[in-house]
Amino acid sequence: GTKDRFELVGTPPDHQEAEFADAVREGLSASPRHVPARFLYDARGSELFEQICTLPEYYPTRAEREILEDRADEIAAAIDREPTLVEFGSGSAEKTRHVIEALIARHGHLRYAPIDISRAALEASADGLLADHPELEMVGVWGEYARGLLTLERVTDSPLLVLWLGSSIGNLTHTEALAFLRDVRERLAPQDRLLIGVDLVKDPAVLEAAYDDAQGVTAAFTLNLIARIARELGGDLRPEDFCYRSRWNPDEERIESHLEVVRAHTAHIPGAKLEVAFEVGDRIHTEYAHKYTPKSFAALAADAGFAVERNWTDGEARFRSCLLAP
């Protein structure tokens, strides 16, 4: 069976609810108003994000899948012993399949430890992967991925291959990205590797379309944050009173996204013990998507103490997968 090859460890949900209430209270009281991007991913948000990944405008998923599909054997060969495969923010783990299969083909066995905020995503991906691969064992780490490495015990002396795909690093400012990479590096042993997906700077029209699609899925994904606040923290906040906006900032080399108030109102959010007066045009910052050049990413990695060992790029040079050594 598959059950005896799956174990779940991690943060209990009560803790996650308190974290959301605190983040909403702090973020909506601050100036500028903001809510950390990780709170976009409740069950509905994760579903909408999976839909974003299939949009014609949202090229990063396809570009990274192309790299992982074409280069899975090279990636698997970059570590000579059988590694434990760890993944930050695994979601559906659909792109990871290629790496998993290449590692199983090479070593005949694999231990995979995905770390995700969504328990449903961990369980769903385990069902599919374990049924297809009898040589696979999984430890699902339920929680924020920054904490996942701590939770994950080093039960073997095998090297870790840590995946951080999808250009999730783009959500972080340079200061945050540097701090996170340093933190990860300190937890890695010399034989471990970090494979990180990085979206590259390109034509602003292509970038802006990727973050504001014609079907409005990205808008719905972001507006779900307002619905989530109302669902989980109560009160009278309504998605109809906001609209989604995003634009390329060429100086910071990032997409900046926010929700803008379209009707003046005072919102009550009892679960966060908060009342907010919103004027038309007021904004709640929701996300950054930083883009890198090969040069700016190499500089960041070096600053964090990593050596860039290998790079793989898709055929249209839109996206890069970088293998970093601590």
Is residue 64 a contact residue for ligand AVJ (CB under 6 A)?
no
**Residue choice 39, 164, 211, 292 for contact with ligand AVJ (CB under 6 A):** 211
Choose one: 164-172, 183-191, 235-243, 295-303; the region binding ligand AVJ (CB under 6 A). 164-172
Is residue 59 a contact residue for ligand AVJ (CB under 6 A)?
no
* Residues 31 and 281: beta-carbon distance below 8 Å: no
Measure the CA–CA gap between 137 and 4, rounded to whole angstroms: 9
Which amino acid would we find at residue 209?
A
Is residue 218 a contact residue for ligand AVJ (CB under 6 A)?
yes
Nearer to ligand AVJ, 84 or 171 (CB): 171
**Residue choice 10, 140, 170, 271 for contact with ligand AVJ (CB under 6 A):** 170
Is residue 224 a contact residue for ligand AVJ (CB under 6 A)?
no
Task: Restricting to residues 34-53, name those near ligand AVJ by CB under 6 A.
Answer: 52
Residue nearest to ligand AVJ as judged by C-beta position = 289
- Beta carbon of residue 175, minimum distance to ligand AVJ (angstroms, whole number): 17
List residues bridging with 261 in a β-sheet. 242
Other Cβ atoms closer than 10 A to 162 = 27
Measure the CA–CA gap between 130 and 69, rounded to whole angstroms: 20
223-236 in b/e form (b: 16+ CB < 10 A) is bbbbbbbbebbebe
- Beta carbon of residue 244, minimum distance to ligand AVJ (angstroms, whole number): 10
Measure the CA–CA gap between 296 and 301, rounded to whole angstroms: 9
Measure the CA–CA gap between 82 and 110, rounded to whole angstroms: 7
Measure the CA–CA gap between 316 and 326, rounded to whole angstroms: 29
Binding residues for ligand AVJ, per CB under 6 A? 52, 60, 166-168, 170-171, 211, 218, 287, 289
